[in-house]
């Protein structure tokens, strides 16, 4: 019971909420006797437990959750602040309603069989007009990133944009968007704010923004050169960073004289000291940006020319060896010329060795001899060697005849294949000597 009493043979009662109620009826006769009977009755009225979302534009869909709705859509009267809405679908616990075009902010209600359930307030939002946005990118400077950039706009898919390009967006509902340009190379920078906010809420429902990207070539840097001194024509390794891997794009100079390159990478250049180079700093220029390195000392050089002239007989075909101070030993033929180039200027001690015993050097110049090397010139010297057939020694032959202590000796059978015997010298073994081709000697008893 609800605590409400009524009398009469036929009555009606309205319940405030759904539920199951026990109804009692007491009847009394004319003599005052009574009888009471009770009966349970179930009553239902619509209830709203949730509205989602609680705001939206006309034409948007709203889900109304609750109980005791009619599964027949037409039997549910859904209103947004008094404006009836059409339903997409209906069940006893959920209604899918479309916000009426003339709806205003107010309560959501559901009426079923004359009973009305009141829900929360629904805020009707203003219908946004679609807007457009134009984004322009201008890239300037050297070493621009040809891969382009990534453009990000609130509520839109990321897009690729070239270094110099423009992109149009349409059907944007936001009144303002955030725009960001990313994927910028390390040698480039964006002028101004990035990301930036662009306002679209204007009479044209349109926005515009322009990104200016400034790029510059990374500065080359020289960390070392090796060696730090040498002659013209020698190779120097320049180590550093931000060089060009294309040799022709690097300008290498030795104190202002441009050098040719044997090879190039981003971290190393192999340069040839130019013929006109003088002592001074080494520089590398890439994309009009110059790095200055250590000083390179150009060693002035000249050449030594050694000639050999060998005459006579029984020449030594193995040739000779040149020993030059400060230089590795050099072989040279018996009639030959040896040119030693790129020698630092100064004095050098030169010696010809390996001369056969049957040959002798001219005494006109000493051996070893000192030669002076001067800048960009050649100092020459000649070694004259005369050879002859070596003398074969004679063959000595003794013939003797003795009678008692008296002996005779002769060496006349001795021979000399390449000359004549000019003397005979004897030693008799007893302390006495003599000379001549034939001699006599008496031994003591």
Ordered DSSP codes for 286-300: ETTEEEEEEEEEEPP
Query: What string of DSSP letters covers 133-194?
Result: EEEEEEEEESS--TT-EEEEETTS--EEE-SSEEEEEEEE-SSEEEEEEE---TTEEESS-S
| Predicted local distance difference test score (pLDDT) of residue 36 | 86
Is residue 126 within 8 Å of 105, Cβ to Cβ? no
Report the distance separating Cα 373 and Cα 85, nearest Å: 111
Is residue 375 within 8 Å of 300, Cβ to Cβ? yes
N- to C-terminal Cα separation, the chain: 186
Encoded tokens for 251: 């300008």
| Predicted local distance difference test score (pLDDT) of residue 1 | 44
| Predicted local distance difference test score (pLDDT) of residue 274 | 94
pLDDT, averaged in runs of 10, over the chain (445 residues): 64 70 83 86 86 94 96 96 96 96 96 94 88 95 87 94 95 92 92 95 91 90 95 93 94 96 96 94 93 94 93 89 92 95 90 92 89 92 90 89 91 86 92 92 88
Long-range CB contact pairs, 92-97, < 8 A, 24+ = 92/67, 92/68, 93/65, 93/66, 93/67, 93/69, 94/63, 94/64, 94/65, 94/66, 94/69, 95/63, 95/64, 95/66, 95/69, 96/61, 96/62, 96/63, 96/64, 97/61, 97/62, 97/63, 97/64
Report the distance separating Cα 383 and Cα 330, nearest Å: 15
| Predicted local distance difference test score (pLDDT) of residue 15 | 67
- Cα-to-chain-centroid distance, residue 244: 12
Cα-based distances in Å from 193 to 174, 190, 206, 351: 20, 8, 20, 78
């Amino acid at each position: 019971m609800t605590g409400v009493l009524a009398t009469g043979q036929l009555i009606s009662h309205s319940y405030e909420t759904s539920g199951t109620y026990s109804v009692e009826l007491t009847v009394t006769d004319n003599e005052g006797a009574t009888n009471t009977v009770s009966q349970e009755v179930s009553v239902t009225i619509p209830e709203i437990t949730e509205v989602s979302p609680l705001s939206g534009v006309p034409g948007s869909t709203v889900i109304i959750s609750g109980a005791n709705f009619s599964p027949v859509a037409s039997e549910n009267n859904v209103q947004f602040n008094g404006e009836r809405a059409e339903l997409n679908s209906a069940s006893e616990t959920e209604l899918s309603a479309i916000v009426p075009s003339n709806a205003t902010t107010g309560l959501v209600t559901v009426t079923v069989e004359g009973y009305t359930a009141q829900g929360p307030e629904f805020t009707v939002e203003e219908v946004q007009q679609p807007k457009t946005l134009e984004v322009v990118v201008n890239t300037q400077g050297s070493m621009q990133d040809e891969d382009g950039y990534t453009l990000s706009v609130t509520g839109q898919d990321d897009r690729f944009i070239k270094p110099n390009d423009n992109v149009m967006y349409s059907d944007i509902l936001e009144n303002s968007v955030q725009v960001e340009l990313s994927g910028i190379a390390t040698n480039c920078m964006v002028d101004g704010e990035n990301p930036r906010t662009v306002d679209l809420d204007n009479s044209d429902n349109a926005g515009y923004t322009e990104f200016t990207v400034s790029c510059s070539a990374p500065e080359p840097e020289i960390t070392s050169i090796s060696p730090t001194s040498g002659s013209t024509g020698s190779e120097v390794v320049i180590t550093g960073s931000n060089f060009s891997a294309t040799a022709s794009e690097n300008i290498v100079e030795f104190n202002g004289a441009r050098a040719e390159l044997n090879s190039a990478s981003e971290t190393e250049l192999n340069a040839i000291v130019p013929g006109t180079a003088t002592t001074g700093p080494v520089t590398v220029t890439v994309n009009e940006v110059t790095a200055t390195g250590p000083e390179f000392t150009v060693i002035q050089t000249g050449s030594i020319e050694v000639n050999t002239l060998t005459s006579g007989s029984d020449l030594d075909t193995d040739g000779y060896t040149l020993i030059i101070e400060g230089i590795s030993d050099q072989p040279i033929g018996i009639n030959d010329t040896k040119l030693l180039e790129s020698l630092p200027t100064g004095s050098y001690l030169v010696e010809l060795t390996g001369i056969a015993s049957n040959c002798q050097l001219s005494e006109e110049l000493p051996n070893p001899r000192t030669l002076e090397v001067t800048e960009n010139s050649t100092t020459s010297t000649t070694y004259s060697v005369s050879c002859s057939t070596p003398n074969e020694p004679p063959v000595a032959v003794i013939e003797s005849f003795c009678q008692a202590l008296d002996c005779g000796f002769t060496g006349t059978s001795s021979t000399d294949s390449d000359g004549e015997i000019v003397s005979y010298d004897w030693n008799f073994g007893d302390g006495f000597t003599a000379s001549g081709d034939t001699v006599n000697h008496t031994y003591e008893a």
